[in-house]
């Protein structure tokens, strides 16, 4: 049978049912994936312009890379095609409309003036629904107050000694690279993760998981990574397994934008994620129980322990809030703390490790910058004479202080210039009100607002020679002279809790690397990928030579 419109009408009742169900499925799938909502506000304001090349069905998704490289590279290309546009809209399945924001004034509006809620896209991270990166309002404020002291300069001044002791281990591994003829080039990202993981576990969790560097574990050997094969005990092995899945999930979250069927039918991935989340929660739950046990007295109450790791400081803050009564954590409170510990480890570890790796890679291509930095470090007596073979012994006692490291303006400039070129992360915000707008210019409501420092840091209207590594651009500038256009750690109340931690850790590591090694670039075509944070896909490899061997 044929309809008046020429369509074939099934005569079999079963086919009727199948046809109707298929039509309903298509209708709801289309609305789920592509229902974008109104194009304009009641006042007639439209979304920012779109780049060319949009597919009639899939939007801009086919333009995005599917090889693991960061979407920001394509977004930057789009901005350049649009005459260095600092705000534009892309249409994507699942995410629907996404506004790419690289304009300092609009970013200030989003993150400071309005402080819009974090985007629902954060659900793709496995930090958990109670992670401080996902919560809002009073819940977020309580979390911030509970953990903030462990990330303040006051606290970090005492932690530099701990960082120096971990630095000693890190440099011994790099010394082996520098003197081993079979090591063609050092993977500076993986090597930096030795250091940053060791530091964050000690400072945040109050434990030492790096005291078995020479032990082997089946998991670490079997994943085929020579860096990991020599790193870790049982706990570290479990954590590295969790990291490997986290990285895989980060790639999956990117795939969701260009491969929406993965989002709909990825049942096996979701089940695996659920299982792994349980394992990681158990790992960090055991850490929390050990810290709680350190508080317990014979009377069953809690006293502040001598150690001042961030987890213990948070427990002490929560105990203080209990009014001095017998103190314990409910299961819900324990999950809350566990999710913060996961966040601090996975996000904090990646952020600083990538910064150290990028800085090493950039310095290896700019010997004039390295020479200038060495001169400043020598003048400030920071790691002076560090090229001596035995200089790394006793760093916990003889290393630089927090104040000494922050009294090096050129070192500060090198780290900031690295963060300008390779900011570790962006932030996503969302406002549901369809009438929300910016300055009577653009409609914002109903779209994911992707605040993008990578693009902003590379636009010529904000930075001269934006693609060049020029640390001198930061020398002599006060933060208020570039604060709105320099955004490595976000802005406003929701800025990065660990920004001071990351800066001092990166300064310490880079100062030591520059003073101890000569570095030569392995591959000048390194590119940016994404997992928890952005990272150098090739590991930012460099050739290391001990300065004592080179005579420099």
Q: By mean pLDDT, which of 150-154, 178-182, 349-353, 367-371 is the weakest?
A: 178-182
Cβ-based neighbour number of residue 227 at 10 Å: 17
| Nearest-angstrom CA–CA distance, 354 and 333 | 32
| Nearest-angstrom CA–CA distance, 545 and 177 | 9
- Domains of the chain with CATH codes: 1-35 (no CATH), 142-550 (1.10.630.10)
> Does 219 or 268 have the greater pLDDT score?
268
**pLDDT on residue 160:** 93
546 burial via Cβ count (<10 Å: 0-12, 13-18, 19+)? middle
Mean pLDDT of 172-200: 89
Laid out side by side, the sheet with 448-451 consists of 87-92, 96-101, 448-451, 427-430, 117-118
> Does 411 or 134 have the greater pLDDT score?
411
DSSP reduced 3-state for 8: strand
Number of C-alpha atoms within 13 angstroms, CB side, residue 60? 21
**pLDDT on residue 228:** 38
| Nearest-angstrom CA–CA distance, 237 and 220 | 6
Q: By mean pLDDT, which of 263-272, 389-398, 401-410 is the weakest?
A: 263-272
* pLDDT above 90: residue 301: no
> Does 269 or 349 have the greater pLDDT score?
349
Percent of the chain at pLDDT > 70 equals: 77
> Does 148 or 481 have the greater pLDDT score?
148
* pLDDT above 80: residue 540: yes
**pLDDT on residue 289:** 92
Contacts of 448 (CB under 8 A, 6+ apart): 95, 96, 97, 98, 99, 119, 120, 121, 428, 429, 430
> Does 431 or 84 have the greater pLDDT score?
84
**pLDDT on residue 236:** 55
Q: What is the pLDDT of residues 311-327, one digit of tens each?
A: 988 888 887 766 655 66
Q: What is the pLDDT of residues 9-56, one digit of tens each?
A: 556 667 666 666 666 566 555 555 556 677 888 889 999 999 999 988
Cβ-based neighbour number of residue 389 at 10 Å: 12
User: pLDDT class for 347, splitting at 50, 70, 90?
Assistant: confident
| Nearest-angstrom CA–CA distance, 364 and 542 | 7
| Nearest-angstrom CA–CA distance, 411 and 389 | 24
> Does 298 or 308 have the greater pLDDT score?
308
Taking CA atoms, 182 is separated from 51, 262, 391, 542, in Å, by 48, 42, 24, 14
> Does 246 or 427 have the greater pLDDT score?
427
Structure tokens at 514: 């520059």
- Kindly report the average pLDDT of the chain as a whole number: 82
**pLDDT on residue 95:** 64
Percent of the chain at pLDDT > 90 equals: 43
| Nearest-angstrom CA–CA distance, 369 and 469 | 9
**pLDDT on residue 485:** 93
CA angle (403, 404, 410) in 5-degree steps: 110
> Does 220 or 422 have the greater pLDDT score?
422
CA angle (304, 308, 311) in 5-degree steps: 85
Our CA dihedral for 400, 398, 188, 485, rounded to 10 degrees, sits at -10
Q: What is the pLDDT of residues 474-512, one digit of tens each?
A: 998 877 777 789 999 988 888 888 899 999 999 999 999
User: pLDDT class for 303, splitting at 50, 70, 90?
Assistant: low
**pLDDT winner (highest mean) among 91-100, 286-295, 477-486:** 286-295
**pLDDT on residue 295:** 77
Contacts of 332 (CB under 8 A, 6+ apart): none
**pLDDT on residue 222:** 32
Structure-token match 């790394």, residue found: 392
| Nearest-angstrom CA–CA distance, 306 and 178 | 39
**pLDDT on residue 306:** 54
Taking CA atoms, 87 is separated from 37, 64, 76, 81, in Å, by 20, 18, 11, 12
Name beta bridge partners: 344.
none
**pLDDT on residue 250:** 56
**pLDDT on residue 349:** 82
**pLDDT on residue 533:** 78
Contacts of 433 (CB under 8 A, 6+ apart): 445, 446
* pLDDT above 50: residue 211: no
* pLDDT above 50: residue 434: yes
| Nearest-angstrom CA–CA distance, 406 and 499 | 14
> Does 322 or 277 have the greater pLDDT score?
277
> Does 532 or 384 have the greater pLDDT score?
384
User: pLDDT class for 238, splitting at 50, 70, 90?
Assistant: low
Q: By mean pLDDT, which of 92-101, 235-244, 356-365, 390-399 is the weakest?
A: 235-244
> Does 250 or 448 have the greater pLDDT score?
448
């Amino acid at each position: 049978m044929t309809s008046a419109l020429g369509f074939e009408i099934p005569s079999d009742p079963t086919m009727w049912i199948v046809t109707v169900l298929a039509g309903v499925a298509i209708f709801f799938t289309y609305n789920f994936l592509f229902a974008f909502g109104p194009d304009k506000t009641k006042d007639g304001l439209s979304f920012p312009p779109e780049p060319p090349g949009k597919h009639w069905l899939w939007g801009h998704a086919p333009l995005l890379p599917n090889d693991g490289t960061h979407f920001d590279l394509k977004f930057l290309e789009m901005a350049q095609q649009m005459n260095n546009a600092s705000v534009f809209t892309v249409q994507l399945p699942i995410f629907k409309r996404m506004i790419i924001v690289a304009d300092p004034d609009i970013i200030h509006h989003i993150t400071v003036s309005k402080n819009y809620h974090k985007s629902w896209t954060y659900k793709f991270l496995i930090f958990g629904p109670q992670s401080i990166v996902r919560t809002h309002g009073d819940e977020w404020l309580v979390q911030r107050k509970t953990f903030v002291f462990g990330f303040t300069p006051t606290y970090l001044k005492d932690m530099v000694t701990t960082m120096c002791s971990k630095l000693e281990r890190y440099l011994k591994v790099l010394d082996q690279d520098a003197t081993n003829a079979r090591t063609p080039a050092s993977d500076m990202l993986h090597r930096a993760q030795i250091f940053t993981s060791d530091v964050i576990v000690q400072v945040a969790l109050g434990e030492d998981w790096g005291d078995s560097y020479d032990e082997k574990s089946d998991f670490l050997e079997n994943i085929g990574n020579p860096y990991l094969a020599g790193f870790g005990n049982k706990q570290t092995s479990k954590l590295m397994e969790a990291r490997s899945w986290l990285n895989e999930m980060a790639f999956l979250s990117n795939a969701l934008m260009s491969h929406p069927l993965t989002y709909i039918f990825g049942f096996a991935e979701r089940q695996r994620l659920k299982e792994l989340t349980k394992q990681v929660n158990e790992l960090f739950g055991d850490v929390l129980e050990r810290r709680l046990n350190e508080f317990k007295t014979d009377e069953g109450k809690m006293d502040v322990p001598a150690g001042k790791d961030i987890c213990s400081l948070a427990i002490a803050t929560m105990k203080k809030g209990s009014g001095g009564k017998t103190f314990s954590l409910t299961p819900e409170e324990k999950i809350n703390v566990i999710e913060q510990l996961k966040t601090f480890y996975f996000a904090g570890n990646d952020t600083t490790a990538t910064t150290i790796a990028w800085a090493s890679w950039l310095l290896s291509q700019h010997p004039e910058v390295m020479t200038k930095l060495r001169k400043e470090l020598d003048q400030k007596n920071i790691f002076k004479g560090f090229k001596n073979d035995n200089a790394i012994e006793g760093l916990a006692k003889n290393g630089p202080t927090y104040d000494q490291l922050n009294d090096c303006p050129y070192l500060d400039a090198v780290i900031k210039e690295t963060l300008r070129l390779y900011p570790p992360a962006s932030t996503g915000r969302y406002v549901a009100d369809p009438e929300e707008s910016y300055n009577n210019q653009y409609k914002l409501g109903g779209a994911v607002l992707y605040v993008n420092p990578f693009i902003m840091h590379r636009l010529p209207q904000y930075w001269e020679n934006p693609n060049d590594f020029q640390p001198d651009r930061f020398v002599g500038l006060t933060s208020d002279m570039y604060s709105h256009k320099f955004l490595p750690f976000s802005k406003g109340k929701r800025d990065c809790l660990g920004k001071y931690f990351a800066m001092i850790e990166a300064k310490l590591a880079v100062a030591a690397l520059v003073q101890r090694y000569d570095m030569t670039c392995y591959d000048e075509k390194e590119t940016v990928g994404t997992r928890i944070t952005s990272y150098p896909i090739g590991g930012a490899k460099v050739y290391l030579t001990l300065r004592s061997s080179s005579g420099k």
